[in-house]
Structure 1
Amino acid sequence: MHNLVLFTSKDRDTLLKLRKGESKFGEHIQLISNLTNIYDDIVDLDVDYVIFGVSEDIGVYANYGQTGTYTAWQAVIKVLLNIQNNSFTNPKRVLILGHLDYGEARKMVQEKPSKKNIAKARDFVEEIDKDVTYLVSTIIKAGKTPIIIGGGHNNAYGNIKGLSLAKNESVNVINFDAHTDFRAEEGRHSGNGFSYAYAEGFLKNYFIFGLHENYTSDKLFKTLKKVKTIKYNTYEALEVRNELDFNAELEKGLNHIASKPFGIEIDCDAIENIPSSAVTPSGFSTKQARQFINYFAKHDNASYLHICEAAPTKKTETKVGKLITYLITDFIRANGR
């Protein structure tokens, strides 16, 4: 693949911080030294999980959003490699494949978001879609579980399509998010990955967990009510008015999606005070995000994890890297492939 940058042993060794008497996660992960055909290269590997990054914020720019999500992958890999290797983390079950890189194309996000520039970005998001779809589909066909890190929530489309193509059926999704990302099909961007996947028949049942009432339009609420295969709750109903119970809503969400292979989508915009494309001062706690992943990952039909929209700066990259690393390892522990 033209845009896939393999994660090499040299990359790993550069980032590893070894300590006497300790064994680090990165010392025991699996790597691919030379890529020929992704399916052939991973199908016989004795791993359960394939982690790859998406270093882009073009989808966020195409949605007139705050860019910076391209930095998440590098923030995460620095931390992930340096956690402890033990019976709880089990790195031998993990292949770190690399990341999709769009450095040259990213120059467009420096431009003023004119109508012409936004249209160009939306066209390019379709190219990113193809890459993500191919990787996710290939990994799942090879019998592994993909963990996708970084970029905008536009990449949910490729995840859903990839899972659907691999399973040869429509699939379901649970989305931990302050927003629906079910906006109009006006050209691809970070706000309409789910609506495109639904319109094209890849997405069947969809549950949005923790919508923010201040940032969901009346038109969108009306759309959600019309589509019978979509269910949601709001953050305010859960955490402000206490009309709904968090654990009961987890069960409700699982009941809606568990009948088919499903993806777990985590938008860092939903977690309080996490640097992201739409950072919120009022959101779910890190503990709640971890409990959410632990709950859904246990199910046999949990088929991928996607963590997106984090936008760390140099000052906050360790914080974001630690957060997402916790979420990755929670998924692996609970999923237990």
Structure 2
Amino acid sequence: MPKYKPTKANIYTGRTSDQELYLHEKILCTDISELKSNTNKTIALLGYECDEGVKLNQGRTGAVNGPDAIRKQLAKLPNHLNKKTSFYDVGNVRHGDGELKDTQALLSKKVSDLLKAGAFPIILGGGHDMAYGTYNGIKIAKDDATIGIINFDAHFDLRSDKTGSNSGTPFFQIAKDCQAKNLPFHYLCMGIRQDANDASLFKTAKELDVIYIQRDTFRIEFHNEINAWINAFIKNVDLVYVTIDLDGFSSAYAPGVSAPSPMGFTPDVVLESLKTITLSGKLAAVDIAEMNPTYDVDHQTARLAASLIHGIIHAH
């Protein structure tokens, strides 16, 4: 069975000051049940310690240790948050010996709890199967809202779950749930590669009316056009859920992932896109998937993930 456990505060270390100049001095470790609804902004980190979905998808394991690897690098970064903004680490959902769906369900429950408490959740992974849990957590908490998914990824992750769920099935599962409830499926993929998806996945994407920007167009020199696509997509939804798969980046920037490739995208175009999404005021939750410290080089991938989070929280 999956478990929920708190984060040990001693994971957050770095330079010290008496003015909360660094994030490790700002972040407080607590249990989700201790969060209270308030009018001030609250940011909450939640770990997804699970790479069972990666294993089932025939990827290289190690992402179970991703959350703590990101935390260690985030701790060292400077703090520019407003003093009234609360920043919590609310622990981890950890996969046990049971089925993946149980871990996803527990993640959904915790994300929902955070949203109901008025917090902005950032989930650290962990395999991309976390997306099914994050999305359902938003859906539980914001049942009347139309949710748009923006996925920064080389892969559609639209594989059939006929033989069970894994890290390659989450958005197919979401689409199937939407169809069963007669709800629209709003899905935008940024950075899709033809050499990372077979013909059947492109066919599925077409059948589900998925909007996608391929890697050769997802470049910083086209940021005005990309921002126009993002704004057009956001216009049709109430809330936006952003999911960032680190294996979408070129391995020059992110070697520590489950499925690396030198042909991925660059951080600058993702940061530019995130600014546009955040400015919409509709961003409900973010997760970062496939952080695999087993294969990281000089903590480069963890540093990238930490910098992405740093940008998001200060813009949000």
Say if 2:250 and 2:262, in contact at 8 Å, map to a contact too.
yes
Residue 207 of structure 1 pairs with residue 182 of structure 2: no
Which residue of structure 2 lines up, in the alignment, with residue 265 of structure 1? 243
TM-score, structure 2 normalization:
0.87
Partner of 1:4: 4
What is the identity, as a one-letter code, of the residue corresponding to 2:88? L
Whether the 8 Å CA contact 1:39–1:139 is kept in 2: the answer is: no
User: CA offsets per residue over residues 127-165 of structure 1, 9 Å max, x none?
Assistant: 111111101111112221100011111110111111111
- Secondary structure class of the residue paired with 1:84: coil
Alignment equivalent of 1:100, drawn from 90, 93, 100: 93
Contact 1:174 1:257 in 2 (8 A): no
**8 Å contact 2:66–2:124 — kept in the other structure?**
yes
From the two aligned structures, give the one with the greater helix fraction. 1
Task: State the distance in 2 between where 1:267 and 1:47 align.
Answer: 26
Partner Cα distance (2:298, 2:93) in 1: 19
Please give the TM-score of this superposition, normalised by the length of structure 1: 0.82
Is 1:132 the counterpart of 2:107? The answer is yes
1:256 aligned partner: 233
Q: 1:245 to 1:93 in 2, by over 3 A?
A: same
Return the alpha-carbon distance in structure 2 between the equivalents of residues 191 and 218 of structure 1.
15
1:66-105 correspondence runs (5 A): 66-85=60-79, 87=80, 92-102=85-95, 105=97
Number of residue equivalences: 305
Percent identity, aligned pairs only?
24
Q: Does 1:194 align with 2:168?
A: no
Match of 2:131 among 156, 162, 180: 156
**Which blocks of at least 5 consecutive residues in structure 2 are unaligned?**
none
Greater CA drift, 149-158 or 15-24: 15-24
**Residue 291 of structure 2: SS of its match in structure 1?**
coil
Q: Distance in 1 between matches of 2:43 and 2:17?
A: 28
Secondary structure, aligned partner of 2:29: coil
Give a deviation string over 1:111-135, Cα, whole Å, max 9, x none.
xxxxxxxxxxxx7110111111101
Deviation per CA, 1:244-295: give whole Å up to 9, x if none: 9333123213312342211011000111111211111111112222222222
In 2, the alpha carbon distance for the partners of 1:41 and 1:190 equals 30
Unaligned runs of 5+ in 1: 106-122
Taking a change above 3 Å as real, the CA distance of residues 154 and 5 of structure 1, as seen in their structure-2 partners, is same
Alignment partner, residue 235 of structure 1: 215
RMSD (Å), alpha carbons: 2.6
> How far 1:44 sits from its partner (Å)?
4.2
The answer as to whether partners of 1:173 and 1:257 remain within 8 angstroms in 2 is no
What secondary structure is seen at the aligned counterpart in 2 of 1:313? helix
